[in-house]
Structure 1
């Protein structure tokens, strides 16, 4: 069966799409060859790269607008389709793929491309907002049985859902011996990271510098309830949340409670200026890595704790285990009191 799609289309109902595809998709045993007719304004390079940017296939779309790559055998997985400098994630297996249409590199949003020979639900790069669409967590048993291992890991990679249960469910569909693709290896690592972000999991340790230049680690506070705040001087909501935290601190302070703010400022001077302005009575640390401008390359602490925006607060119990995450204001107070019960 041939599938066609416009490259910029967003899938609105993931579960329904999977049900339809799993019931109708039939793959052959050919190698991968990409061919077609794309109207271009100038000679354009078409490339297929793996997730590590290694070139798998390449050809030039010339002035006659037709093209065809060599035929090769690949590991079914997520690959990157490049037309000139325009990049698109795509799921490929060992089947012929045809791409037809019009491509304008200067105005890619005006391009119109149709594909045959691929699964459209695995073609789209950002079809499901992370942590907002629960569809991936509600895939029925019948659908799970029809997704191939390579589809499962590709789906996890493309959906990029920041949720342990959803990713673990997909990983469990992939036998150990089939975890050789790059997306499968990515998924194994993702599940390991997310396992530390579920309630009751032991929180990852870290070591950062305090205002006196002393190294301070999370493990230093074992035996205490810890309210951990990730912030930055330039973040208005962070500064506002600190004042809310101060109210809770003054109300609940005791020997069993510690507040820690970790600044992600890119400058020590900016961090120290914030310290002088806020004059907060708890532990203030600085992660000199800063807050990455590119969300695709989060810092180590962002990866460990699973956050991509600030302020971000977690509450840790006396055993160093996660009691609450992504909480604010009254939620922080409630989490502390619950641990004290």
Structure 2
């Protein structure tokens, strides 16, 4: 028995989130962020707002102080989810309002940083750290089951282990829903719901969603979440789309831009492929369903590579050697990028990836015209659009 699509305990990190006023915190106004991170690399630092459809740069600075001190400032029209991103795509998540925030810690251990001046950000970091810890434990358990399958372990033993794992995952999902119901911060409520990796379970949470919307009636991004879940419900009712691969971006959206290194270390930007049809293919060397799908992708590429079509492979690998070996072994002769951060990759929150393989077909203007094209579906779609 195999768990489907190597599902990750993360979904839609890029959904915009807002914070409710709590204590002395206010929704809008000016903010200041003072940061002191030992071992932080010199270079550009970006403060980016994560919204439903795009990433917006709110402020930038150049880190020139070897001690790792820098500051960011500006104004916010309302509280939302932001990230401080460094040049190598490592980042710190913040629930940012009109706050004076101080951040201290070690750049090499960002999950242990100290945040002061934003109760919502502190709570958000705690929620994220707890989710990552539990998610990693489940991933290790899943891999152990995969190893047992490869060793021809009796089905009776496998079945018991799989059932235990499924119950642990169900308990984790329920904990996210419970957190969303209880937290005083709308940002954290939406973020907690974004951790639920089963769209069907999200659709079932109408009472919770309505309760959050009633508690924060002026929160535009809570409203966006409600609208998105309603859309998911309509899609599920119509029988369209792959529920296991619902993401934060959808057909009709402009694909969020990103820049990641290729195997040689050269930085590659998605928007540099404008003018061509591009398949953005999220995969990994360790993902068996991805590897099984690769022959179909290779076939389509060979047929259409000379007809204004290309592919950008985006890997969620951790080890460069395994990534490069899989590219060579599967004959994937197109462009590839990865920050080698597994499910902590910068593209996971940007696109809201919750399972792989996942892909998006972009038109020459960068608009998503199809998603999750597998088997013959990719060739059929290319035959339709590529002339």
Q: Could you say which TM-score interval applies, normalised by the shorter chain?
A: 0.3 to 0.5
With normalisation by structure 1, the TM-score equals: 0.47
* Rg larger in structure: 1
More helix by proportion, 1 or 2?
2
With normalisation by structure 2, the TM-score equals: 0.42
Structure number with greater CO (CA < 8 Å, separation at least 6) is 2
